[in-house]
């Protein structure tokens, strides 16, 4: 491996996404913020604080030795597991939207499930590098699945189905990219379908979301409300949108427009062109990360970078698909754009690792 400078195409993509995200958080939230807190900049200022913190952390991670990251991966994983357990304790974990998913620290809060998504990818990448030659053994594959299942179970106890879904899909795709036998993934598919069916049937609100996805007009003021309002935001956007800060749906029609459905506001204000530019930035980030990873012979940085890239893009895909009505509502944030300190900080930490790995890519 040759030690080089970071990949500046990735740096430019990330800089664009962070700045674009801050601008859109302000645009999507200023009406709600002014109503709730008498400060139209309320959500923007909090997001900016986490962006600055994330930038400092990201730069620090870029300068770390990859071997040190690998050395402490197991410790990081068990800390994330401990946080997933702590958040379940009544009085410690904050309940929002029916899920006990946050640990409060004064004016700010931490969402452990977000960091669990990164820690599981880090751990799997580490153990793929250690047991790479044994991946064809069924018992090794089952051990990986059991590890993923434990983390998923802890997240579902909150419950947070959306984050758990991203974690499982990302981890299984990473195992697929590592070269595990294809026949083993048939088992994953069967177990996954049975498990998802059971989770949906065990929680009435999840079943309502599925029914609302199939026909949102059956309950337009209940389970179908968000989906309908999201489409009402997208429809008038056209090619170029209504113009920045001119969204109508953010005026108390689309609930929490700065969060999971911020992409709908992007389309409404900036049109199809704005949406294409945004998705193109995510795609360039993904493609460059994969290209850099494939130039590295060392299994650990290769699969670490691939796993993070897959996790980010899976989250983008699911979020956008939900917003445009191709998937049921899952409550998944859009990386770098959705309001939320934990989500933004995790995204910037993830990119810090990606940029660190990009320093060790081979010459073309």
DSSP-based three-state secondary structure for 101? strand
Tell me: the pLDDT tens digits for 234-266? 999 999 999 999 999 999 899 889 999 999 999
150-153 long-range contacts, CB within 8 A, separation 24+: 150/81, 151/81, 151/84, 151/116, 151/120
- pLDDT higher than 90, residue 290: yes
DSSP one-letter string for 5-20: ---HHHHHHHHHHHHH
As a whole number of angstroms, the distance between CA 109 and CA 103 comes to 5
Q: Which of 246, 306, 250, 237 is nearest to 278 (CA)?
A: 237
More confident residue, 355 or 185: 355
DSSP one-letter string for 180-247: --TTHHHHHHHHHHHHHHHHHHH-HHHHHHHHHHH-GGGSTTTTTHHHHHHHHHHGGGTTT-S-TT--
Please tell me the pTM assigned to this model.
0.92
Residue 363 has a pLDDT of 44
Tell me: the pLDDT tens digits for 322-355? 999 888 888 889 999 999 888 999 999 999 999 9
- Residues sharing a CB contact under 8 Å with residue 48, sequence separation 6 or more, in sequence order: 22
Tell me: the pLDDT tens digits for 57-94? 999 999 988 888 889 999 999 999 999 999 888 878 78
Residue 206 has a pLDDT of 74
- Percent of all residues in the chain with a pLDDT value above 90, rounded to a whole number: 55
Residue 106 has a pLDDT of 65
Neighbour count for residue 305 (Cβ, 10 Å): 27
């Amino acid at each position: 491996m040759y030690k080089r400078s970071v990949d500046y195409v990735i740096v430019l993509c990330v800089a664009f996404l962070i700045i674009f995200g801050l601008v859109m958080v302000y645009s999507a939230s200023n009406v709600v913020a002014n109503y709730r807190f008498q400060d139209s900049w309320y959500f923007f200022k909090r997001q900016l604080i986490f962006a600055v913190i994330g930038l400092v952390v990201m730069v620090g991670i870029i300068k770390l030795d990859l071997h040190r990251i690998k050395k402490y991966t197991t410790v990081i994983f068990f800390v994330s597991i401990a946080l997933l357990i702590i958040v379940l304790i009544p009085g410690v974990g904050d309940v929002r939207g029916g899920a006990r998913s946050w640990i409060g620290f004064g004016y700010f809060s931490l969402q452990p499930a977000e960091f669990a998504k990164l820690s599981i990818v880090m751990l799997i990448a580490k153990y793929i590098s250690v047991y790479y030659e044994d991946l064809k053994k069924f018992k090794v594959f089952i051990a990986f699945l059991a590890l993923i299942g434990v983390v998923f179970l802890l997240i579902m106890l909150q419950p947070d189905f959306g984050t758990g879904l991203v974690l499982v899909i990302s981890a299984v795709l990473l195992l697929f990219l590592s070269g595990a036998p294809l026949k083993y993934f048939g088992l994953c598919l069967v177990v996954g379908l049975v498990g998802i069916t059971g989770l949906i049937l065990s929680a009435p609100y999840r079943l309502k979301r599925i029914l609302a996805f199939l026909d949102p007009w059956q309950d337009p003021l209940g389970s179908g409300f968000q989906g309908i309002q999201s489409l009402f935001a997208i429809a008038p956007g056209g090619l170029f949108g209504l113009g920045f800060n001119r969204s109508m749906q953010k005026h108390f029609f689309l609930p929490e427009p700065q969060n999971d459905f911020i992409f709908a506001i992007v389309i409404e204000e900036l049109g199809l062109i704005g949406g294409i530019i945004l998705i193109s930035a995510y795609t360039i980030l993904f493609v460059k990360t994969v290209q850099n990873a494939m130039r590295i012979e060392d299994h650990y940085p290769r699969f670490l970078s691939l796993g993070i890239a897959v996790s980010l893009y899976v989250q983008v895909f699911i979020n956008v698909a939900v917003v445009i009505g191709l998937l049921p509502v899952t409550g998944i944030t859009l990386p770098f754009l959705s309001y939320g300190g934990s989500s933004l900080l995790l995204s910037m930490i993830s990119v810090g690792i990606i940029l660190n790995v990009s320093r060790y890519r081979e010459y073309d």
